[in-house]
Amino acid sequence: MNNIFKNLKLEIFPLSIILVLAFSRLIPHPPNFTPVIAAAVMSGYLFKNIYISSVVLLLSMFLSDLVIGTYGNFIFVYFSLLLIMFLCTKINKKLNFKKLFLLSLFSALIFFLITNFGVWAFSNMYSKNLNGLLYCYLLAIPFFTNTIISTVIFSNLAYIASNFYYKRSYN
């Protein structure tokens, strides 16, 4: 019976970290300064099972989107987060601060490229040619700064919290 509670305790912590990261989208924040990408980066590190990681990430995004409201390119947002989670799961088994920093930068870039492609492809804001796509990316650069900074900050906070929790749990 003790073993069941210990395993449950171990799963509740990663679940709560991802939910906190995803639901903090609901708190007022500067544009694109959210921990959403950090949730994707860290979910592969926090959960042992990629399916649980995927479900928790998508469900937490979906629930927070129900509160925020719908948006046209959500499929690109969800796809980019799943891709980031999958790639980070394959890379971050032996995570450290340097690797986490690089994963955060790379993940922010993936998110930037995929979601802005979705904006270009499915909105009437840009011409449907290479110039329109490049202009879409160019206009998104100011938002990219907040994306990078928030991903690095929130990934590191989740990493520090998880290391503190697990080391403290076993001492």
Per-residue pLDDT of the chain (171 residues; tens, 9 = 90+): 445 444 445 567 777 877 777 778 777 878 888 888 998 998 878 877 788 888 888 888 888 888 887 777 889 999 999 999 999 887 766 788 999 999 999 999 999 999 999 999 999 999 999 999 999 999 999 999 999 999 999 999 989 988 887 675 443
| Residue at 78: amino acid letter | Y
Q: For the chain, how are helix, strand and coil distributed in percent, rounded to 5?
A: 85, 0, 15
**Helix (H/G/I), strand (E/B), else coil: 28:** coil
- How far is it, in rounded angstroms, from Cα 101 to Cα 63? 28
Q: For helices 36-46 and 50-68, what crossing angle results, to 10°?
A: 160
Which pTM value belongs to this model? 0.84
Residue 153 structure tokens: 């900050």
Which one, of 58, 44, 35, lies nearest residue 156 by Cα?
Answer: 35
